[in-house]
Chain A
Amino acid sequence: MSGVQLKGIVKTYGAVEVVHGIDLDVAEKEFVVLVGPSGCGKSTTLRMIAGLEEISGGELTIDGRIMNRTAPKDRDVAMVFQNYALYPHLNVADNIAFGLKIRKESKEHIASAVKEVSGILGLTDYLERRPADLSGGQRQRVAMGRAIVRRPKVFLFDEPLSNLDAKLRTQMRAEIKRLHKRLGVTSIYVTHDQVEAMTLADKIVVMHDGRIEQIGTPMELFLNPANAFVAGFLGAPPMNQIKATIAAGDTGPVAMFGDQTLALAPLADLQNAVGREVIVGVRPEYAAIVTENQPGAVRCGLELVETLGSEALLHMTLGDAPFVIRTETLGNLDRLNAVNGFTVAPELIKIFDGKTGLALSGQTRAA
């Protein structure tokens, strides 16, 4: 079977286990993004795939071959590092050609490969320059060129865009996506930026504390997060999470917090959960603003309005907890300043168990 498979992969440093038995299937030509907060084990997992970290337990297969004890050079992978890892004493052409020279490829092959790759990445005019004379984006392109030129079976990216400014990051993100479409090489990409994960991935793997929280397409994860952590990690701003108790309302189940209630979808799982402590998840863009007393609306106080042009973020307080609403400005800020509550369609609300954080079943929405 081609692609990359991880079966029960474990990493320990002395007595400390940092990656706790990860299972992951990366299909051939797939673009998989490992995403999670700092220290979640995503980079360690990537480095184990590259062969830069020893695998403490489990089995790694690349292109159908077990690679646990195989030297990095024999795994047929190429890696792009966060800080580019360009050789400062070599010019762009020699940096790109480094891997080929090490493998003693013929001069003709090296010259044509460097020419082709520099053409793809728009580096043809910079081949004689040294890394110190390049901008951040150009350096990043050289780092990618060095990976591409070897035509490996798998590309590994370790937070390659985190050293770039916001504008360049957006630009390079699109370039990476285009490059993947063009080359069709299996890619595993590590980032802590959920926007990068959402925009680049065919499949996202959300990691937390050395474990996989959920695997799925970006929209699957966005619409049907498996737990409160995933719900809170994906989406900008993140999903609002309110502690509540499920109660039986007149027309169906409701979530109670303080003296307020919020109508929930009449699902069997929620109706059977009356009295259970839960976390109510509402995405900022699903909350509809209310400026007058309206039946069924949740009252909250307006603290701050952040205008983004066509949209605005309303920072509200719901009891003691913060609550963010994303809404359109429609050129009328006075209307936003008068907001005193919100409503939300019951089918858009996510309910998670108050103790385990797991999503209560029966809430699945089609992507």
Chain B
Amino acid sequence: MSMQEDHTGGSTEKLVAEAKEALRYRHPSRIQKVGDHMRREWQLYLLLAPTIIWLLVFLYTPMYGLQIAFKDYSIFRGVANSPWIGLEHFHTLFGSDQFIRALKNTIYISLLSLAFGFPVPILLALMFNEVLNQTFKKTAQTIVYLPHFISSVIIAGIVITAFSPSAGIVNTILEWFGVDPIYFLTKAEWFRPIFVGTTIWQEAGFQSIVYLAAIAGVSPTLYESAVVDGASRWQMMWKITVPSIMPTIIIMLIIRIGNMLEVSFEMIILLYQPATYSTADVVNTFIYRQGLQGGQYDLAAAAGLFNAVVAFVLVMTANTVSKRYSRTSLW
């Protein structure tokens, strides 16, 4: 009897183990699938590791500190021991004229950058694509890519010099037409056009590379077919090139909308001055002044968190809208 029990018991256990193993193979869990994939493609995961470590150390770990947006933070008490104060910092922010002004400026400058800055790289790429002389094309491309590789400090220096009322080229030209020198960088109404123009000059060329790559991916037979059908170069550009790169344009637009509130902080810091705060001060410069210069880390963290939440909502909305209407989306 005991023999039989042993036999039966042992056999059942074995059968259950075999069944579990078979189940594992037939219906592997997501973790098992990832594990199998990692074992098989470990070289790829190794290549991915530095980026993941970087993300964890510099982007995810600091998120622990986000809680100070809801605390009365003191550097002596530390993040964990500072007392919770709920949404008080947010009340302070939205009650502050400076923050509201910064928020309005951010939105205004972002919309201007989007309206004027977003189409320029696309137009540049389309123009480069139409240039047949290779020497001219390469020279022109180098010239427009160059500002991207120059430090923002130098770019700001060039802009300040160019708009200088005494020796700047802009005022010199204006003088030829009998216009009195204008103190561009001290006048609030001139800050936005100068800032938007500068960022376009600095980045449009480099950003056009993405569109040039997309254009390079369009099948040449589409153009050949259109040529036989009788399309002009202009018609081919608008009826083939632009629609073909539209998915890329939409993806870039979604990314751009997600980064809308992240206006070029460095350039603003370098170009603005108290006289132009009314039009130049944005959320990021506000955070910089409150947090780093004023020592109000908790208030600055609240402003930063607000910025991030708005960006998240914007990118989600843009992606959903794009997915629904153009079949193109980031995810």
Contact = CB atoms under 8 A, between A and B. Distances in A.
Nearest to A88: B244
Central interface residue in A52, A83, A90, by most chain B CB within 10 Å? A52
Interface string A68-96: 00001100011101110101111000000
Interface in A301-323: none
Nearest to A130: B327
A102 B243 contact: no
A50 interface: yes
B62 interface: no
Interface in B230-265: 230-231, 235, 239-240, 243-244, 246
A81 B221 contact: yes
B246 A98 contact: no
B115 interface: no
A218 interface: no
Interface string A254-266: 0000000000000
Contact of B243 (A50, A52, A81, A89): A89
Given A87-B240, A87-B243, A89-B243, A79 B235 contact: no
Nearest to B230: A73
Chain A contact residues (Cβ within 8 angstroms of B): what range? 20 to 34
A89 B240 CA distance: 9
A50 B230 CA distance: 12
A237 B317 CA distance: 62
Chain B contact residues (Cβ within 8 angstroms of A): what range? 10 to 19
B235 to A, nearest CB: 6
A51 B229 contact: no
B222 interface: yes
Interface SS of A by simple majority: loop
Given A73-B230, A87-B243, A102 B235 contact: yes
Contacts of B235: 102
Given A83-B219, A85-B219, A87-B240, A73 B227 contact: yes
Given A85-B221, A87-B240, A89-B246, A77 B228 contact: yes
B221 A89 contact: no
A154 B240 CA distance: 25
A309 B322 CA distance: 56
Interface in A330-367: none
B244 A150 contact: no
A98 B229 contact: yes
A73 B246 contact: no
A160 B28 CA distance: 45
Contacts of B219: 83, 85
Contacts of A137: none
B221 A83 contact: yes
A99 interface: yes
A182 interface: no
A66 B210 CA distance: 43
B240 A99 contact: no
B225 interface: yes
A103 interface: yes
A55 B20 CA distance: 71
Contact of B228 (A78, A88, A90): A78
Given A85-B221, A87-B222, A89-B246, A103 B230 contact: yes
B327 to A, nearest CB: 9
Interface in A218-250: none
Nearest to B243: A89
Interface in A37-72: 50-52, 72
Nearest to A103: B230
Contact of B227 (A72, A87, A90): A72
Give the 6 A-B CB pairs with smallest separation, nearest first: A73-B230, A99-B229, A85-B225, A89-B243, A85-B221, A79-B228
26 contacts: A50-B224, A51-B228, A52-B224, A52-B227, A52-B228, A72-B228, A72-B230, A73-B228, A73-B230, A73-B231, A79-B224, A79-B228, A81-B221, A81-B224, A82-B221, A83-B221, A85-B219, A85-B224, A87-B222, A87-B240, A87-B243, A88-B244, A89-B246, A99-B230, A102-B230, A103-B230
Interface of B: 219, 221-222, 224-231, 235, 239-240, 243-244, 246
